[in-house]
Amino acid sequence: MNLKVRLSLMNFLQFAVWGAYLTSMGRYLGNIGIGSDIGWFYSMQGIVSIFMPALMGIVADRWVPAQRLLGFCHLLAGIFMFATAYYGITAGDKVAFSTIFLLYSISVAFYMPTLALSNSVAYFSLNKAGLDTVKDFPPIRVFGTIGFILTMWLVDLLGFQSNQNQFVTSGVISIILFAYTFTLPHCTISDKHEQKSVIDALGLRAFALFKQKRMAIFFIFSMLLGVSLQITNGYANSFLFSFKSMPEFANTFGVQHANILISLSQVSETCCILLIPFFMKRYGIKNVMLIAMCAWVLRFGLFGFGDPGTPGVLLFVLSMIVYGVAFDFFNISGSLFVDQSTDSDIRSSAQGLFMLMTNGVGATIGTLAAQLVVNHYTHAQPLDGDILLVGDWQSCWFIFAGYALLVGLSFALIFRPKKEKV
């Protein structure tokens, strides 16, 4: 099989595992009576992302080839995802938060490092084959997004959004990927002098960059904007499903197939990646980041104004479209800025710091803060065998939009980049 096809299939399965539950888990948690704790489940992804990828990266450097470690991590993630589903089935309506959270957390702790490990396998294989990673990797990575979208649709169409079968779906794909890793090219273990320490892998050496005012401001605002990253993953599905309590919206497409509607966000994300080089060259890092912040305001605000009916659903569609700008323009342009603004000897650590501030600290704080807001304005309501989170969702989305607006205005006033070399 062609190398690019093999790596594309690896990326497809890698993100299909995540897409099975990431956007619908909140609905399931609400349906088993622990909707008030949704934020803890999503924050755990940020918490383990602070240290697990670094630790597994060191293991891959020193002892276990990356493709083999990728498989073992997926095996363990899949087993514990099955355990999460099994507990949900056997416990019925008496699910204990502590038990299901523990099982889920262990699964996620082994899954999150695979995001970096799969990239390592792809980069190593492409380099070994004499191919250009800059040119050849993006088309391979796109298949990851396609896998994410298709499992979102699968879970939706099979009626798994409100039950534990979404975890079963994720576990099955994890086991398939575990088996598939035995067919991937062999990755060699690094020589001793190339090994990274925990300090390097976590990006801690890059904390020296905080001595530079410009970089300190950038990383702080990266954390502040990272607060927004997981909010809609955690609550968008539950929000759309809450309209089931309103007879005029109960049978609309957005309520019945929330995952498919939300998947437009990932479609937009795929398209917006292609726009970044043009915008960076034409407008520079500050303006591109401001565009991302404005997009986050629209992302949340449009949720607040929309509804699943006609024409209100068009506002939801627009919210999904701007998500690509909000997510990609922030994450990818920010990564490019870090790359261009740091010396080569600290560049990798700086990238680690950027991810720690955004997907680690920022996303963790954001999901827990969002949980407090949602719990304040909504409450559980049983309906036709489901438990909905109903209430003043509009205020929730406007609070999130207001926060993004405040961060954007502060960034515009405070951040002063040097002339970019883009």
Measured CA to CA, the distance from residue 71 to residue 186 in angstroms comes to 12
- Quote the CA–CA distance of 258 and 233 in Å, as a whole number: 12
For CA atoms 241, 245, 246, 252, the dihedral sign is: positive
Of all residues in the chain, the percent with pLDDT exceeding 70 is 94
- pLDDT band of residue 190 (cuts 50, 70, 90) is low
Who's near 49: CB < 8 A, 6+ residues apart?
A: 112, 355, 356, 359, 360, 363
What is the average per-residue pLDDT within 245-271? 95
Residue with tokens 């300090």: 199
C-alpha dihedral (369, 237, 405, 282), degrees to nearest 10: 130
The CA distance from 61 to 11, in Å, is: 21
The pLDDT tens digits of the residues spanning 338-362 come to 877 888 667 766 777 888 889 889 9
Q: How confident is the model over 319-345, as pLDDT tens digits?
A: 999 999 999 888 878 887 887 788 866
Query: Where does residue 172 rank: exposed (0-12), middle (13-18), buried (19+ CB within 10 A)?
Result: middle
Amino acid sitting at position 263: S
String of DSSP letters for 37-60: GHHHHHHHHHHHHHHHHHHHHHHH
d(CA 167, CA 75): 14
Q: Output the pTM of the full model.
A: 0.91
Q: What is the DSSP code (8-state) at residue 252?
A: S
Q: What is the mean pLDDT of residues 390-408?
A: 97
**Strand, helix or coil for residue 96:** coil
Count other C-beta atoms under 10 Å from residue 281's C-beta.
11
Amino acid in the structure at residue 38: I
Which domains does the chain possess? Answer: 1-185 (1.20.1250.20), 203-422 (1.20.1250.20)
Taking the C-alpha atoms of residue 187 and residue 340, their distance in angstroms, rounded to an integer, is: 29
Average pLDDT, the chain: 90
